[in-house]
Structure formats: C-alpha cells, structure tokens
Amino acid sequence: MNLIRATGSIGVLTLVSRVLGFVRDMLMARFVGATFASDAFLVAFRLPNMFRALFAEGAFTAAFIPMFNRKVAEEGGDLKPGLKFAEDALSVLLPVLVVFTIIMLAAATPVVWILSGGFNGVSAAQFAYAVELSRITFPYLLFISLVSLFGGILNSIGKFWVAAAAPILLNLTLIVALLGFNGPTEADTARVQAIAVTVSGVLQLIWLMAACRRSGVSLRVRRPRLSPDVKRLMKLILPAAAGAGAVQINLVISTALAAGLLAEGSVSYIYYADRLNQLPLGLIGIGLGTVLLPTISRQLGGGREAEAMETQNRGMELALFLSLPATAALMVAAVPIIRTLLEHGAFTAHDTVQSAYALSAFSLGLPAYILVKVLTPGFYARSDTRTPVRFAIIAIGVNLVLNLALILPLKHVGPALATAISAWVNVALLYRALHGRGHFVPDARLRRRAARLLLASIIMGAALYGIDLLIAPMTGGALWTRIGGLAILVGGGTAIYAAATFLTGAFTLADLKMLTRRRTVDTAAAADKGKP
C-alpha cells in the first residue's frame, strides 16, 4: 500500500470536512459570537465529542480493527470470520449504547456541572439552558459509535475514503441549520445547532451502512452474546479509551476550568483556537492513524516485522514533514488567520486577539498530537492497549497540574499551553516504550531528515514573520482584502518551505526523481491491469 497516497486520499476528504467546518465556525461566530449561548453549546457538544474520540473513533477502532484483520488473516483472507465477529460485536454494542445514552440523559445536570465547573456566575435559567442543549446532543454518541463499527470494517478492507467522508455530513447539517433555521436570538440559534448535531449522527450512520451494503457487507443484529472474542474486545476497549483520547480528556479539563474560573467567552476562545489547530491534525494525524493501524496490523499478522517497522518510520517522517511547518505557520500567523476567518458580525477584534494567543499555545503541541497518532498503532496492532493508557493517564495528570498552575496567570492561554506540554510528555513515553521493546527504531533516513525538516520550518517561520509585517494593512482591511493577504501568507510560506527543504538537504532532487519514477511505474501497472 502506498502510504502517501492512502493518507492523501483521506487528507483531501478531511480537508473538505475541515473547510466546511470553518464555514460552520464562521457562521457560528457571526450569529452567536463568543457569548454564553456559544459557551453552553460548546460544552454540550464537548461531551459527545469526547466520547466519540474515547470510545467510538478511538478505543473501539483501536481494539476492533486488529482483531478483525487477524480473523481475516487466519482464514487466508476470507472475510466471513471477520464479519461474524463484527456481528457479535454489534449485538453487544447496540444495547450497551442505548442504556448508556439513557443514563447520560438522566444524569445531564451533574454531568454538565462537572464539564463546566457550574460556569462562572451564571443564573439558574442559564445553567438549565446548558443542560437542555446537552440532553439534545447526547444521542449523537450512540449513532457515531455505530458509525465507527461500520467504518472500521470498511477501513480494514481498504475503503478508507468512505469513513473519512462521513464528517462532511456533520458540517453540512450544521451549516444548513445555521443558514436556514437560525433563531431570532443567540440562544435559539445555539439550540438549533444542538439539534443538528444529533441529526447529523443519523445521517452519518445511514451513509456508512449504505457503503457497507454496496461492498457486500451486511451485518445482522443478533441476541447479545458474550463470546470469547467479544469479551477480549471489551477488555481491550477500556484501556484503549484513555490511550486514544488523552487529547480530548485534556480539552475537557481545559474547558471545565475555563468555564468555571474565567470570564464569559473564554470557552469560545479555546474552542476556536483548537478548531484551527485541529485542521493540520485532521489532515495529517487522522489520515496517518487511519491508514497505519490496519496496515501495520496486516503486516504483523503476516509475520512481516521489517515491513511494519518501515511503515512506521515513513509515517513518522511524513508526520514531521507536514506538522513542523504547520506549527511555525500557526504560531506566526495566528492573528491574520483568525481575523480573516472569524472576525465578522458578533466576533470582535478583541475576540480575534484572545483566540490567537490560545492558538499560538496550542500549536506548540501540534507535532506531538500527530506523533501520538503515528506511535500508538505500534501498540494497538500488537493488541497492547494497556501501555498507551498508562502513559495517557500520566499525560492527563501533567495537564491537570499545569492547568491549575497556569490558568490564573495566563487565563485562557494557560489551558492551551498545558495541553501542548502534556501531549509532548505522552509522545516521549510512547516512543521510549516502543524503542525499548525494539518495535520502533528510527532508521538512518528518518534521523537524517528530522533535524533538517525542523531547520526548514524555522526558516519558513522567520520568513512568514517578515511577510506578515509587510502585508499587515491587508490583513486588517475588508474581507476580500484579508483573504488576499492570507493567500499571500499561505502561498509564500508554502513556497519558502519547499525551497528550504532542498536548501537544508531534507529532500534532494534524487528524492523527486524517485517519486516521479514510482508514480510512472504505478500508472503503467494500472494500465497493464486494464489490458485484456
């Protein structure tokens, strides 16, 4: 499998989703701004988002895909044993999700209080409104967990793009709700957004089920039965939850502390900064993680340890190549980026500056967030979900301590900085464990390129700083002038980084020739397959 091509296809779809997500955020900022209604919706959406990352896309995928691939590999590539296992998993997962959703709906008041710290000086009516929004969004967890089951099957059979396209439905649904059903007040508009979240979960489930059926995959819901395989799956899911969702847990902690200790709007500053930080994470980290886990699982299932090591080295290289310049760009150009995308309507210039501070802090941890996605498949593919959870718990503890230490002196920037530092702690622990076991050893190519990619990113960052000073009048002008200024920043930064990678020797002309030859060979092979 071509790692770059597979990651790229997911990245393109993720880019579409993220662009639509920014359109959604721009509309949300325009109609709701950084107000209590915005904070209440973001807290309500945080919980299903957290559980989606912990149990659905994170833990369930991490445990299910290696087991599914192992079942298929044991039978010489026959899908039937894997699909039988998937049916058993679905028959247990569905009633568990229904019961859990009912419990969360009943316990919405204390759950919202924990997530928000009771907010900061709000009235009983405002708190009740936040609870109402949370009850509306809770069912999303049930639907998105089932989406992850069907998506895991499709990823295992190489159809990565289908699951990668599902989040587009979330953003389209929220955009339609904002444009067609926004209410007369900010509170009404936020309520419509909460309804749209759950509706999007239904649409995503329909999309994945239809795609599975087109691929010849049809699962029946049977009477729940705790088979040995399902018991093993459940044992793997719980530790994988914290391992896969450390960043989400850290964000929940940050949100709760900001809501409980800081002024109105602080939750929104953190949210908008995180959304921008999530763009490269989504394009790079999610794509790499989606491709690496089933790929490494298949390689290890076939006894091809050397291939698995090569795959992870190239994954690490690709992660650094893309994440290091993204970090430099987000740190240097935080203000013009946020001003261009969000400073309209109810979102003020003050909101831009405050969100930019948080974005600069978040972006310090961007390479770490992505490297976690590269390193954890090395554990999950070997059915080791316990080691990452130990490290995740340590990282969460570091985040909590730093949050408490930094939130008052640095306000909403403190939680963002704490999250970034804790992510690097997680990466260091994961790397040390894999390296110590001999499961990951950086090869000469990765060692040579890593330092040079860092230097190229620093060069690009310095150049961006100078460009930003020159075009400052554009980024502070009208909307289309801002867009033009941002285009100059992005285009200039990309060109400078490309030149810097060759200047520093991170990449050479020989590398380009190799890629060109590979593409030519792949094209010729594809053409040969079509000949009679």
Q: What is the pLDDT of residues 121-132, one digit of tens each?
A: 778 888 899 899
Could you tell me which of 497, 472, 481 has the C-alpha nearest to residue 333?
Answer: 472
pLDDT of residue 523: 35
Q: How long is the chain? A: 532
What is the Rg, in whole angstroms, of the alpha carbon atoms belonging to the chain?
A: 23
525 SS3 class: helix
Could you tell me which of 426, 130, 163, 76 has the C-alpha nearest to residue 255?
Answer: 130
Report residue 352 as tokens.
């831009």
Distance in angstroms (rounded) separating the CA atoms of residues 479 and 474: 9
* Three-class HEC string of 272-322: HHHHHHHHHHHHHHHHHHHHHHHHHHHHHHCCCHHHHHHHHHHHHHHHHHH
Distance in angstroms (rounded) separating the CA atoms of residues 191 and 129: 9
Could you tell me which of 445, 489, 449 has the C-alpha nearest to residue 469?
Answer: 489
pTM beyond 0.95, yes or no: no
**Sign of dihedral through CA atoms 150, 156, 161, 167?**
positive
pLDDT of residue 287: 62
pLDDT of residue 458: 93
Distance in angstroms (rounded) separating the CA atoms of residues 446 and 306: 15
Could you tell me which of 162, 148, 170 has the C-alpha nearest to residue 45?
Answer: 170
Q: What is the dihedral of CA 372, 373, 374, 375, to 10 degrees?
A: 50
Distance in angstroms (rounded) separating the CA atoms of residues 70 and 345: 53
Distance in angstroms (rounded) separating the CA atoms of residues 50 and 58: 10
Spacing of C-alpha 32 from chain mean position:
24
Distance in angstroms (rounded) separating the CA atoms of residues 62 and 55: 9
Could you tell me which of 310, 294, 306, 236 has the C-alpha nearest to residue 72?
Answer: 294
Residues of the chain with pLDDT under 50: 1, 515-532
Nearest 5°: phi and psi at 150? -65, -35
DSSP 439: S
What tens digit of pLDDT does each residue of 159-174 get? 777 777 888 898 899 9
Distance in angstroms (rounded) separating the CA atoms of residues 121 and 99: 34
pLDDT of residue 53: 65
Distance in angstroms (rounded) separating the CA atoms of residues 376 and 388: 7
pLDDT of residue 54: 63
